[in-house]
Amino acid sequence: MDLDSRMSLVSVVGAAGKMGSGITFLLAQEMARLSLLPENKGKLYRLIAVDLDPNALRGLQEYVHVQAVKAAEKSAVGLRALYANRPDLVENSEIIEDYTRRIDAMVWPTTDLAAVAGSRLVFEAIVEKIEIKTSVYRQLKELCPDAYFFTNTSSVPIGVLDREAGLGGRVLGVHFYNPPPVQKLVEIIRADSTTDDVVAVATEIGKRLRKTLIPSHDVAGFIGNGHFIRDGNHGLAEAARLAKEHGWPKAFHIVNRVSQDWLLRPMGIFQLIDYVGIDVFKFIQTVMGKYLPETLSDPVIDRMIEKKVLGGQNPDGSQKPGFFTYEKGRIVSVYDLDKGVYLPLDPAGWTGEADAALGPLPEPFRPWKGLVGAPDRSAALVAHFERVAAQRSLGGELARTYLGRSREIGRKLVADGVAFDADGVNGVLTSGFFHLYGPINDYCK
C-alpha cells in the first residue's frame, strides 16, 4: 500500500454535490496535513474537483474555504504543532491563514473530466444513476489506469459497477453519510471482485479521516438504507392503518411521536424522511427494488410524490414541506393526504385528541437529548423499555410492534449476509443514525 504517494494527486468526481463537497473538504484537510510534514516539503499536492456544474464549483470553493477556516480555528492547538518547523509563522492568525490558503490552493475545480488524468485515488459522488455512473467510470478507467475508485453510491451494487465498467476489481463502496465532515460513519462495501489493496488503502484513509468504518456486503442499500427504507415502510404502513380510523394528520402525528418519543430516536420517522427527501426515499426504494427480490415501494410515498410533496432542504438548510411543515426546525403543521392541505398543530384540538389516543409517555420520561450523553444511559434504556413493555396503551402497543419490526429488519440484514454480524447493524444505526441502541437488542422481548 503506497497511500502517501497516492494522496499527492486525488480526484473527486461530482465534487460540487452535497456529498462530493464534504468529501472534498475532508480530503483537502488530510492532504494539507501531509503537505506540512517536513519530509513532504516542496511536494505538490493536488485535489482535482470535477463537476458538471460550474456554478456549483464556485460554491464548492466558498464552502471549502469557510469550512477550512472553521476547522483551523477549532483545531488551532494541534495545528501549531504541525507548524512547529515554520519559524516565520508565529501567531494563531498567521498559522490559520496559511493553512486555509493551503487548502484553498489544493482544490483545483474543473468541469473537465480529463483533468483527473494520472490520479491514483478517485472518489466518485455523482448522481445515483447506474448508466451515468457506468459511463463515467469507463472514461475514468482510461484517464487514470492506476487509480483506485471509491464510489459513494447508496444503492448500486459495487460488483455491477465493476463488471459494467470493466474496472478489474479496483473499485470499492466508500459510503459516507450526509454531511461527510460531521457524520462519523462510513460503510465499506467490497464486491467479490474488489482487490485487498483497495480495501487496505480505503481503511487507512478512513482512519486518517477519523471515521468509524463498518463493512457491509455488496447488497443494494447496504446496511444503512437496508434498515432505513424498511423501517420507514413499517412506519408508513402503520400510518395508513391508523388513518382509516383517525385520518391522516393524526396518523402521521401518532407514528412520528411513537418513533421519536417511545423509541427514543433523535427524530421521528416522518421527520427523518422529510429530512432525507420523500423523492430521495422513493428513489432508493426503486434502486434497491431493482436488485432485491422484495417489493419496497409504498403507496403513501407514491401518493405524496403524486401531490408533489417532496420534503428535502432549501439551499439555506431549512426544511421544505413534506409530511410536516417546519418553523426553525420545529414541526408546526401536518399534511392531510386526502385533502392535500396542512393542518396546524392544535394541542387544544386535534393534536390533543391524537395524544390522548396514544396515552401517556412512560414516566419518568427522559428524551433522546437527555440520554445521549448521560453516563447512566444503558440502565436508563433498560428501565424505559421495561415501562414501555408494561404499557397497555396505543403508544405502548405501537412502540413494541415498531421495536419488533426494527429488530426483524436488523436480523434479516445479518441473515441475508448484508451485514457481517449484529454489531455491524447496530453500529450503523448508532453511529450513522444516532440511535441510542441498535435494532438487534433484548428490549421488550
Partner 1 sequence: MKSLRKPVYLVCGDYTMSFGTGRKEFNPKKSRPGLEHYIAEAGQAVVGQLPDPTVVDEGYVGNFMAARFNHQGHLGAMFALVHPSFEYKPSTRVEGACCSGGLSVASAVKSVLADASDVVLALGVEVQNTVKAIYGADILAGAGHYAGERKNGHAYFFPAKFSDRAGAYKERFGEKGTWEGMGRWYEQAIVNARTNEKAQEFQNADPDPFATHQAMKPNGKSFCDHINVLDCSKVSDGAAGILVASAVGLARAGKTPSEAVQLVGIGHAVADLTTAPQDLTKLTTSQRAVEQALAMAGLTIKDIGVFDIHDCFTITGILTVEALGLAPHGEGAAYVAAGKTRRDGPTPMNTTGGLVGWGHPTGASGVRQIVDVYKQLTGKAGSSQIQIPADRPYGLTISMGGNDRTVVACVLRRAA
Q: How far apart are CA 408 and CA 230, in angstroms?
A: 10
Question: For the window 15-34, what string marks contact with ligand NAD as x by the rule CB under 6 A?
Answer: -xxxxx--------------
Q: How far apart are CA 94 and CA 344, in angstroms?
A: 52
Q: How far is the CB of 10 from partner 1 (least distance, A)?
A: 27
* Sheet containing strand 121-124, strands side by side: 107-110, 46-50, 9-13, 121-124, 148-151, 171-176, 185-190, 212-217
Question: Under a CB-based contact definition with an 8 Å cutoff, are residues 186 and 206 in contact?
Answer: yes
Nearer to ligand NAD, 110 or 333 (CB): 110
Q: Which residue has the cell 450523553?
A: 373
Nearer to partner 1, 78 or 347 (CB): 78
- CB hemisphere CA count around 27 (13 angstroms): 32
Question: For the window 154-193, what string marks contact with ligand NAD as x by the rule CB under 6 A?
Answer: x--------------------xxxx---------------
Nearer to partner 1, 79 or 213 (CB): 79
Question: Under a CB-based contact definition with an 8 Å cutoff, are residues 438 and 430 in contact?
Answer: yes
User: Which of ligand NAD, partner 1, none has residue 127 at its interface (CB below 5 to 8 Å by kind)?
Assistant: ligand NAD
User: Which of partner 1, ligand NAD, none has residue 57 at its interface (CB below 5 to 8 Å by kind)?
Assistant: none
User: Which of ligand NAD, partner 1, none has residue 120 at its interface (CB below 5 to 8 Å by kind)?
Assistant: none
Residues between 105 and 134 that touch ligand NAD (CB under 6 A): 125-128, 132
* Angle between helices 92-106 and 54-74 in degrees, nearest 10: 150
Q: How far is the CB of 314 from partner 1 (least distance, A)?
A: 21
User: Which of ligand NAD, partner 1, none has residue 90 at its interface (CB below 5 to 8 Å by kind)?
Assistant: partner 1
From 8, 20, 16, 9, select the one nearest 111 (Cα to Cα). Answer: 16
Q: Which residues bind partner 1 (CB under 8 A)?
A: 73-74, 76-80, 84, 87, 90-93, 96
State the cell numbers at 107. 482544490
Q: How far is the CB of 37 from partner 1 (least distance, A)?
A: 19
Give the H or E element holding residue 214.
strand 212-217
Q: Contact residues for ligand NAD (CB under 6 A)?
A: 13-14, 16-20, 50-53, 56, 125-128, 132, 136, 152-154, 175-178
